[in-house]
């Protein structure tokens, strides 16, 4: 069944044919993080898709994965393109290396999952929190409910994690 929901007043639709994303977001709606695991080579992949990027097999199973990792890179948005974000700048978009499968199948690889930086309850992070986060910050996944059948996976600072003394940030003016 298709998903028709809203996030910050913007329509978010996943249609009937997009079975991979429907399954992915069905798990997110239950506040669970699941990824496809290839049944031929056993590697996980993200984002959800029809074939394995490593061995091209179309066969996969859904498995629970720990939503925890380190910031690989980030962007801090000061000029919102989407009108819904205009009153919410600066906000932060994170690219996170999951702990699971880091360094496989080559030392430079990781499953890198995109999400906004939010508070622990899934609200876009305030500026003082944005300023604390940089490359290396330990984060955990949280889910923001976006209507029936949909929750958006985001990232928040992992309060119990071993944080770097000074996460790397772009030089500020
Ligand atoms: Zn594979």
Asked whether residue 109 carries a pLDDT value surpassing 60, the answer given is yes
pTM (predicted TM-score)? 0.94
Q: Tell me, in angstroms, the distance from the centre of ligand 1 to residue 114's CA.
A: 22
Who surrounds ion ligand 1 at CB < 5 A? 38, 40-41, 52, 54-55, 57
User: What mean pLDDT value characterizes the chain?
Assistant: 94
The token duo for 17 is 């044919």
Q: Of 47-56, 109-118, 146-155, which range is least confident? A: 146-155
- Closest Cα partner for 160 from 140, 136, 145, 132? 140
Asked whether residue 172 carries a pLDDT value surpassing 80, the answer given is no
Instruction: Give tens-digit pLDDT for 57-90.
Output: 999 999 999 999 999 999 999 999 888 888 899 9
Q: Tell me, in angstroms, the distance from the centre of ligand 1 to residue 132's CA.
A: 37
Q: Do 33 and 99 touch, CB atoms closer than 8 A? A: no
Q: Tell me, in angstroms, the distance from the centre of ligand 1 to residue 42's CA.
A: 6
Q: Tell me, in angstroms, the distance from the centre of ligand 1 to residue 48's CA.
A: 13
Measuring CA to CA, how many Å separate 40 from each of 45, 54, 63, 98?
A: 13, 10, 15, 22
Q: Tell me, in angstroms, the distance from the centre of ligand 1 to residue 69's CA.
A: 23
Q: Tell me, in angstroms, the distance from the centre of ligand 1 to residue 60's CA.
A: 8
Asked whether residue 173 carries a pLDDT value surpassing 60, the answer given is no
Q: Do 16 and 27 touch, CB atoms closer than 8 A? A: no
Query: What was the pLDDT predicted at 41?
Result: 98
Q: Tell me, in angstroms, the distance from the centre of ligand 1 to residue 110's CA.
A: 15
If you search the block for the tokens 């061995």, which residue do you land on? Answer: 55
| Per-residue buried b or exposed e for 55-80, using 16+ beta carbons within 10 Å of the residue's own CB | eeeeebebeebebbbbbbebebbeee
């Amino acid at each position: 069944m298709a998903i028709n929901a809203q996030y910050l007043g913007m329509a978010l639709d996943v249609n009937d044919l997009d079975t991979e994303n429907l399954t992915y977001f069905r798990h997110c709606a239950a506040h669970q993080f699941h990824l496809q695991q290839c049944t031929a080579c056993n590697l996980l992949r993200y984002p959800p898709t029809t074939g394995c990027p490593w061995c091209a097999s179309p066969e996969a199973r859904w498995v629970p994965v720990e939503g925890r990792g380190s910031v690989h890179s980030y962007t801090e948005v000061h000029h919102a393109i989407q009108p819904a974000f205009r009153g919410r700048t600066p906000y932060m978009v994170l690219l996170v290396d999951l702990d699971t499968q880091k360094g496989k199948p080559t030392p430079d690889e990781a499953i890198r999952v995109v999400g906004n930086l939010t508070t622990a309850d899934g609200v876009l992070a305030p500026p003082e929190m944005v300023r604390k986060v940089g490359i290396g910050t330990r984060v955990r996944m949280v889910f923001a409910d976006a209507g029936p059948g949909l929750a958006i996976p985001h990232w928040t600072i992992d309060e119990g994690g071993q944080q770097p003394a000074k996460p790397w940030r772009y030089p500020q003016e």
